[in-house]
């Protein structure tokens, strides 16, 4: 679910997940949040689970050390035309982004029973330095929605 772990000598660990039971992941796939996440500051180690494969949204940001917290996340740049987050310098420094580092932006989803009312938080995205396996949840200075709807009503002709 995380990556194809065949033909690798990397250390594997087993984690207990909220939605998928026990999963084996590569220790090198753990992403560290030096400051934790908002309201979960003590949770520092997470892994991205990709049930749809190839890092397609949605993905699960699963605590590597406990069953909770676990968040469903989406790639907002694939969903919102013109979304261009500019994190504060302190956020960039916290995850040691250097020129050439691969940076990914994720948004936490809230999915109610009526999934058509699902939203993502594009005001406080998760910025991931993929090269260094470091991440931070930023509060952007730009005016973005905390509850951006994933589903938009279609206009009738």
Position 155 confidence tier, pLDDT thresholds 50, 70, 90: low
Cα separation, 96 vs 43, in Å, equals 19
pLDDT at 154 over 90: no
Structure tokens at 143: 């005016």
The DSSP element (H or E) to which 78 belongs, if any, is helix 76-79
Residue scoring higher pLDDT (53 or 115) = 115
**What value does the mean pLDDT of the chain take?**
92
Structure tokens at 64: 């590597």
Cα separation, 146 vs 157, in Å, equals 30
58 by Cβ neighbours in 10 Å (0-12 / 13-18 / 19+) ranks as: buried
pLDDT at 97 over 90: yes
pLDDT value of position 31: 98
Structure tokens at 84: 């261009």
pLDDT value of position 10: 86
Structure tokens at 43: 């949770």
Domains defined along the chain, listed by start = 12-149 (2.30.290.10)
Residue scoring higher pLDDT (154 or 127) = 127
Mean per-residue pLDDT for 94-107?
Answer: 96
In 2-86 the beta strands, taken as DSSP E runs, fall at 12-17, 21-26, 31-32, 45-49, 59-63, 70-74
Give the gyration radius of the chain's Cα atoms: 16
């Amino acid at each position: 679910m995380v990556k194809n772990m065949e033909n690798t000598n990397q250390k594997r660990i087993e984690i207990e997940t909220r939605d998928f039971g026990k999963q084996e992941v590569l220790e090198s796939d753990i992403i560290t949040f030096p400051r934790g996440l908002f309201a979960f500051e003590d949770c520092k180690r997470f892994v991205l689970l990709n049930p749809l494969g190839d890092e397609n949204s949605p993905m699960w940001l699963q605590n590597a050390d406990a069953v909770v917290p676990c968040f469903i996340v989406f790639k907002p740049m694939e969903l919102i035309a013109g979304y261009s987050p500019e994190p504060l310098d302190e956020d960039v420094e916290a995850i040691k982004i250097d020129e050439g580092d691969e940076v990914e932006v994720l948004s936490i989803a809230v999915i109610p029973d009526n999934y058509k009312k699902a939203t993502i938080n594009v005001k406080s995205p998760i910025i991931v330095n993929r090269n260094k396996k470091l991440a931070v949840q930023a509060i952007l200075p730009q005016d973005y929605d905390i509850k951006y709807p994933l589903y938009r009503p279609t206009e009738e002709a």
